[in-house]
Every structure is written in C-alpha cells, then in structure tokens.
Amino acid sequence: MCGITGYIGYREAYPIIIKGLQRLEYRGYDSAGILLYNDDVFISKTKGKVSDLEDLMNTDSSKQGNIGFGHTRWATHGIPNNINSHPHTSNSGNLVIIHNGIIENYDALKKELIKRNYTFKSDTDTEVLVNLIEEVKKTNDCKLGKAVQIALNEVIGAYAICVFDKTKPNELVVARLGSPIAIGIGKENKEFFVASDASPFIEYTKNAIYLEDEEMAIITANKEVEIRKIKDDSIITPEIQQLKMNLEQIEKGGYDHFMLKEIYEQPHAITDTYRGRLIANQGIIRMAGVDDNMEKFLNADRIIIVACGTSWHAGLVAEYLFEDIARIPVEVEYASEFRYRNPIITEKDVVITISQSGETADTLAAIKLAKSKGAFVFGICNVVGSSIAREAHAGAYTHAGPEIGVASTKAFTTQITLLSLIALKLGKAKGSLSNAAYRNYLQEMELIPKKVERLLKEDENVKYISSIYKDVPNCLYLGRGYNFPVALEGALKLKEISYIHAEGYPAAEMKHGPIALIDENMPVFVIAINKGHYEKVVSNIQEIKSRKGKIIAIVTEGDIQVKKIADHVIEIPETEEAFTPLLTTIPLQLLSYHIAVMLNKNVDQPRNLAKSVTVE
C-alpha cells in the first residue's frame, strides 16, 4: 500500500503535497518523492521518510509550481532505495507517474518495451507502466488521457496512478483499479486535489469524487473534472460527495482503530498475497523464490520453521499444511529458543523464517545461526527490503501492506495464505497431491477473500458475545488439528490488547489438567468446525458443559449438534480443512478487539508492547 497525493490550481503545490504525504505515511514509509512543474519538471526522491525528502528539498530552492504530485512508498517490487522511489519518468522525460498497487504482468510488458528500445533504471513495475503509456501515446499520436486509457487495457493488476505530461502541463490524469483515489474539488473548479484518501485535502475542501474501479479522470484547472470508463473510454457523470469524516477518521479509513481497519482489510490483503502468484484456472502457483530453489525444498530432510509470537502461530499452521499436503517433515521453533539451544542443523535442512516486520532480533539471529550451519534459509516477510528479507537466501513477501496496529491480524492471515501456496506447490511437485485435489485447493483459495468478507458480517454477533465476557479474569481457547494454532493465536490476541489472561490448548489436552479450571466463571472459546475430529471436539464440549463451563463455539454454517449445547455460536463458511485457519481466526480477532475497546484499552498501542521487537 502506498500513498499518493497531487495538486493543480492557484496555490503553491509544494507545501500542500508535502503535508499530504505526511498524512499518508501510515500507508507506507520506505521512500518518498515529489514532482513539481514550474516551466520545467522538477523531481526529488529519496529512500526513507517524508522528512528525509523535506531535508533533501531544503537544499534545493526548486519548490515553486502550482501543479505536482507526491508519493510515499510501501515497496512491493524493487527494494526501497532512491532509484526505485517514485515518481518515475518515461524514457523521453515527458511523462511522469506515481503509482499505488501491483502490475502483475509487468515482466511481459517490460520485455516487449525492451524490444522497442526502451531502457529501465529501476526494478519497479511502475517504470514499466509509464513507458507503456509513452509507447501508446507515440504510436497512437494521442493525448495523455487517451494513452492512459489504452495502456491500462493491457495491464493486469491493481493500481491508483497519477500521470503528468510536461508537453501539456496544465492537467493531471488519474486512474484506479483496486487501489483508492479521491479527487478533492476546489471552489469554482479553481483547484483540484488528488489523494489515496481525503486526509491531504480535507482542510481545503469537503467536496470529493471517489473514483470507482476501472474509472479514470482528466483533471484540468478551471475546468470540470472529466471522468471516463477505462474499458471503453465512455464519459461518466461524476458524483460529488460532501465529506463528513475528520482527519483522524480518514487516516483510519473511517474505522476507530488501525487494528479494526486491518481486520477488515484482510479480504483485500489475502487477494494481494496471491495476486500474480495463483492462476487457479491454469493450475499454476508461481513463486520465484520457491521455483528457483525447488530442489532444496524437495530434497530437504526436514523444514524447520522459526518465528516469534503470531508469526510462530502461522508457523504451527504451516506444520499441518506441509506435512498433510506436501508430506515433508516439519519442526516449528521459537526463534528465541532455537538460537540458544545449540540445535542440530545440517545442509539438508530448509529453514523458513516468518516475520511481519522483518526486524525481529531473535528471528534474525536464528537465520544467521542456520546459515552458519549450511542450511538454506527462506524468509517470509511483509516489509520489503527488511533485515530478515535481506539476510535470507530467498523468500517471499506477503504484500499485506503496512500493519500499524501492534496486534497482528492481516499479517497472520497473509502469512498462512503464502504458506498454503508453498505447501500446495511442493505437494504438486512431490506428487503427494492428486491433480484433482490440487486444482480444487487452488479454486477454493480464490474463494477465501469473499468468505472472509461474508464472515466479517458476523461482527455484531461477536460484539454482543464480547459484551457478555468482557469482564472475565481468565479465558480458555481450544482447537484441534489445523485449528490448534488458531486457539493459541486467539488467546494471544485477547491477552495482548485487553490484558485478560487467556490460554490456548489442543482440545484433547483438557483432560490432562486444564479441565480443573472449568467452572461457571470460565468462558471457553472452542473451534468446532465440521472438519477434522468434529465428534471428538463435541465430546470435549460436553465435558466442559458438565462442569458448568461457558461455551462459545466457532462452527461451520449449518451446524446443528454444537448449537444445541453451546451458550453462543459464531458460524463460519464451509471451506477446505487446510484453509479453515484463514476463517476461524477472524471472529477471534474481532472478539479481542471489541473486548479491548469495551475495557477502554489502547487497542493500537497496548501497554508494554512494540510493533517490532528489535531487541533480545
């Protein structure tokens, strides 16, 4: 997720753009850059934050100009550095672009443009896009707007772009598919603002147009905004909205907290994780980091998964995925234990590390230890160019976008999505999975975002259950098989943001001690989906009921048996057992969120916690 913002009108553009970028930094902070036009194009860009861009600009007087745009980056293609920072310029130097999103077919487009003698300075998909627009503009001898419209019909992926043509410096062209664009309308059309959300322009105007997917706009000062459909270039009558949100609400996308926003972003984040990697109708999973090292994975004696916290829980889910689907032995280790216990590691081991931040000290140290013993290390991170991403031999990014809330939510589900794709890819390569089962998994994975969306509609029910149990001193979470790690994760979520003591257990473990805790004051959250050992979970529930424990069960839609005995149920859509953690975790995230809010806790920055534990 990146932040884009632009201005065209009668004011000096620089201060508006810089302040807009500061407000959009929550969307990404790997690098920042700006274009200003004042009789010529001026571009300044740098790795780092918006403040680094300001420092750079302070050494250069060129801040004049009434038109321009800026970008704060969350890297997806190309590590964070100056060259890969936006804006990007076409080969002629006439066209300049900023982009939020992912162009999936950029490689094929780039190869075609190289054949036509285009050259590239950066590793980004965005530089390919601006040169594609230039090539279309040249071959069709058309205006920028038309060139953008034609070019985008050749593009597969997600984008919010703003494009400038220095040969026609009184207009900006914007377009969106999958990434947001808001257009702020100034008084009497004398000025216009463009941004990923309204936070950069809310103080100047409350009149805004929100582009819909597959729409584009040609913005010219002192003229009505022209909205068109990208598909067929047809004109659309814009709907101008009156903004009601304040600045803080806008940054959180209208949600009260970043954590809730990130819980609701999960359908989009999961889609972004498999975008460009999963081509279900062709039975393809494309992951360069795995493809290039397939022999290492297939010949490994075992896979050792090393992580901390929520990422360690994702690793536990992966143990079930890899052993069940790919039949590869897996061990899961806390990084902090692994690095100090003098583990046996050989060249025949593959170590997979999982980390949202890519900066967790214990996980980073575990990688160095594994590498020193000759193991192949594959890193799964959310932050492009992070220390762990750079230290690993190969890896894959989750593309979840910045996760601001300290409690990990979309990082967990996107990690599991990525690990599922790897397990399926290895299972297919090893022949441990029939082609029919493989294809079925791929089709089902594409349905998961919609099922998460459907499940988020259970929020009111979860909120009601939260209100009943918000004051309990202790909770138990139970799950079996793939959902045992989800029970652990649910307990961690509750602990870390509501400060209520909670423990997760394999459901069958109850009789080995924890059942002594059960009485009418102990709520037990049980994952009782209709897959795996359903009947055994039902008998675990009976054991708890007979000791007056309160049961809140997560069941599969249409469940009858558990509904009769549980105090409350939350229904999840049917899916493959291997994918149930992607769904069962959602109500547990919402439950911990609502309880923490009802207890007036600091949801996004819980006490004693940091988003990234870079110390030991």
Catalytic residue IDs: 2, 611
Taking CA 185 as the corner, what is the angle to CA 182 and CA 186, rounded to the nearest 5 degrees? 140
Question: Which residue from 5, 76, 408, 420 is in contact with ligand AGP, where contact means CB under 6 A?
Answer: 408
Q: Is 309 in the site for ligand AGP (CB under 6 A)?
A: yes
Q: Is 419 in the site for ligand AGP (CB under 6 A)?
A: no
CA distance 197 to 200: 7
If the CB atoms of residues 312 and 484 are measured against ligand AGP, the closer one turns out to be 312
Stretch of residues binding ligand AGP (CB under 6 A), selected from 133-141, 224-232, 307-315, 546-554: 307-315
| Residue in 177, 166, 144, 193 with CA at minimum distance from that of residue 35 | 166
Helix 580-598 to helix 459-469 angle (10° resolution) is: 50
Stretch of residues binding ligand AGP (CB under 6 A), selected from 152-160, 174-182, 221-229, 304-312: 304-312
If the CB atoms of residues 201 and 593 are measured against ligand AGP, the closer one turns out to be 593
CB of 533 closer than 8 Å to CB of 481: yes
Whose tokens are 């503009």? That residue is 137
Task: Compute φ and ψ for 556, nearest 5 degrees.
Answer: -80, 140
Stretch of residues binding ligand AGP (CB under 6 A), selected from 184-192, 251-259, 352-360, 584-592: 352-360
**What is the three-state SS of 317-386?**
HHHHHHHHHHCCCEEEEEHHHHCCCCCCCCCCEEEEEEECCCCCHHHHHHHHHHHHCCCEEEEEECCCCC
Q: Is 355 in the site for ligand AGP (CB under 6 A)?
A: yes
Q: Name the minimum Å distance from CB 424 to ligand AGP.
A: 23
If the CB atoms of residues 407 and 486 are measured against ligand AGP, the closer one turns out to be 407
Q: Name the minimum Å distance from CB 386 to ligand AGP.
A: 9
Pattern 473-502, binding to ligand AGP, x per CB under 6 A?
-----------------------x------
Question: Which residue from 182, 308, 418, 442 is in contact with ligand AGP, where contact means CB under 6 A?
Answer: 308
CA distance 202 to 525: 43
| The pair of three-digit structure tokens given for residue 524, joined into one six-digit string | 């037990």
Q: Name the minimum Å distance from CB 363 to ligand AGP.
A: 5
Q: Name the minimum Å distance from CB 609 to ligand AGP.
A: 7
Q: How many CB atoms lie within 10 A of CB 472?
A: 17
Residue 561, classified by CB atoms within 10 Å of its CB into exposed (0-12), middle (13-18) or buried (19+), is middle
Q: Name the minimum Å distance from CB 248 to ligand AGP.
A: 23
If the CB atoms of residues 569 and 586 are measured against ligand AGP, the closer one turns out to be 586
CB of 211 closer than 8 Å to CB of 176: yes
Question: Which residue from 91, 310, 498, 584 is in contact with ligand AGP, where contact means CB under 6 A?
Answer: 310
CA distance 593 to 408: 11
Q: Name the minimum Å distance from CB 493 to ligand AGP.
A: 7
Count of residues near ligand AGP by CB under 6 A: 15
Question: Which residue from 199, 360, 398, 589 is in contact with ligand AGP, where contact means CB under 6 A?
Answer: 360
If the CB atoms of residues 65 and 581 are measured against ligand AGP, the closer one turns out to be 581
Pattern 102-121, binding to ligand AGP, x per CB under 6 A?
--------------------
| Residue in 199, 192, 197 with CA at minimum distance from that of residue 226 | 192
**Burial call 417-442: b when 16+ CB within 10 Å, e when fewer:** bbbbbbbbbbbbbeebbeeeebbebb
If the CB atoms of residues 314 and 538 are measured against ligand AGP, the closer one turns out to be 314
| The pair of three-digit structure tokens given for residue 412, joined into one six-digit string | 């967990």
Q: Name the minimum Å distance from CB 605 to ligand AGP.
A: 11
| The pair of three-digit structure tokens given for residue 126, joined into one six-digit string | 């965005």
Report the helix count and the strand count for the chain, using DSSP H and E: 21, 27
Dihedral class, residue 86 (left if φ above 0, else alpha if ψ from -120 to 50, else beta): beta
If the CB atoms of residues 171 and 359 are measured against ligand AGP, the closer one turns out to be 359
CA distance 483 to 394: 29
Residues facing residue 505 across a β-bridge: 478
Q: How many CB atoms lie within 10 A of CB 342?
A: 8
Q: Name the minimum Å distance from CB 581 to ligand AGP.
A: 15
Stretch of residues binding ligand AGP (CB under 6 A), selected from 58-66, 125-133, 354-362, 583-591: 354-362
Q: Is 406 in the site for ligand AGP (CB under 6 A)?
A: yes
Q: Is 606 in the site for ligand AGP (CB under 6 A)?
A: no
If the CB atoms of residues 216 and 588 are measured against ligand AGP, the closer one turns out to be 588
Indicate the residue type of 176.
R
Q: Is 311 in the site for ligand AGP (CB under 6 A)?
A: yes
Q: Is 273 in the site for ligand AGP (CB under 6 A)?
A: no
Q: Name the minimum Å distance from CB 564 to ligand AGP.
A: 34
Stretch of residues binding ligand AGP (CB under 6 A), selected from 267-275, 337-345, 400-408, 454-462: 400-408
Q: Is 357 in the site for ligand AGP (CB under 6 A)?
A: yes
Q: Name the minimum Å distance from CB 358 to ligand AGP.
A: 7
Q: Is 612 in the site for ligand AGP (CB under 6 A)?
A: yes
Cβ-closest position to ligand AGP? 309
Task: Compute φ and ψ for 57, nearest 5 degrees.
Answer: -70, -30
| Residue in 157, 163, 177 with CA at minimum distance from that of residue 230 | 177
Interface residues toward ligand AGP, by CB under 6 A:
308-311, 355-357, 360, 363, 406-408, 496, 612-613
